Amino acid sequence: MTFEDFDLDGGVLDSIESMGYKSPTPIQEQAIPVILAGHDLIACAQTGTGKTAAFVLPLLDKILQTPSGGINTLILVPTRELAMQIDQQIEAMSYFVDVSSMAVYGGGSGANWNQQKQALSKGADIIIATPGRLIAQMQMGGLDFSYLETLVLDEADRMLDMGFYEDLIRIISQLPKERQTLCFSATMPPKIRQLTAQILRNPVQINIAISKPATGIKQLAYLAFDQQKLALTASILKEGDYKSVIIFSSTKEKVKKLERELQRIGIAAKAFHSDLEQEAREQLMYAFKAKRVSVLVGTDVLSRGIDVEGIELVLNYDVPPDPEDYVHRIGRTARAAKTGTAITFINELDQREFSFIEKLIGRSIEKMPLPIELGPAPEYHPQKRPPNGPTQKKNRKFKKPSK
Sites of contact with ligand AMP (CB under 6 A): 21, 24-25, 28, 47-53, 307, 335-336
C-alpha angle 47-221-327 in degrees, rounded to nearest 5: 15
Query: What pairs with residue 111 in β-bridges?
Result: none
Closest distance to ligand AMP from the beta carbon of 54 (Å): 7
Closest distance to ligand AMP from the beta carbon of 234 (Å): 30
Distances from the Cα of 222 to the Cα of 103, 193, 219, 283, 352, angstroms: 40, 38, 11, 33, 14
Give the residue among 123, 324, 365, 351 at the shortest CA–CA distance from 223. 351
As a 3-state breakdown, the chain gives helix, strand, coil percent values, each rounded to 5, of 45, 15, 40
Q: Can you point out the beta strands (E) in 52-156?
A: 73-76, 101-104, 126-129, 150-153
CB nearer to ligand AMP: pick between 183 and 267: 183
Closest distance to ligand AMP from the beta carbon of 24 (Å): 5
CB nearer to ligand AMP: pick between 85 and 250: 85
Closest distance to ligand AMP from the beta carbon of 60 (Å): 14
Question: Which residues 6+ apart lie within 8 Å of 189 measured at CB?
Answer: 157, 160, 401, 402, 403
Closest distance to ligand AMP from the beta carbon of 226 (Å): 32
Question: Which residues 6+ apart lie within 8 Å of 118 measured at CB?
Answer: none
Closest distance to ligand AMP from the beta carbon of 50 (Å): 3
CB nearer to ligand AMP: pick between 36 and 368: 36
Q: For residue 332, what is the DSSP state?
A: T
Q: How far apart are CA 332 and CA 314, in angstroms?
A: 7
CA 378 to chain centre: 33
H helix intervals, 200-242: 226-240
CB nearer to ligand AMP: pick between 53 and 126: 53
Closest distance to ligand AMP from the beta carbon of 394 (Å): 31
CB nearer to ligand AMP: pick between 48 and 58: 48
Closest distance to ligand AMP from the beta carbon of 156 (Å): 15
CB nearer to ligand AMP: pick between 21 and 354: 21
Please, what's the b/e burial string for 315-344 (b: 16 or more CB within 10 A of its CB; e: otherwise)? bbbbbbbbbbbbbbbbbbbbbeeeebbbbb
Q: How far apart are CA 43 and CA 27, in angstroms?
A: 8
Closest distance to ligand AMP from the beta carbon of 331 (Å): 8
First to last CA, the chain: 34
CB nearer to ligand AMP: pick between 155 and 353: 155
Give the residue among 98, 97, 136, 99 at the shortest CA–CA distance from 116. 136
CB nearer to ligand AMP: pick between 47 and 392: 47
Cβ 101 vs Cβ 90: under 8 Å? yes
CB nearer to ligand AMP: pick between 48 and 340: 48
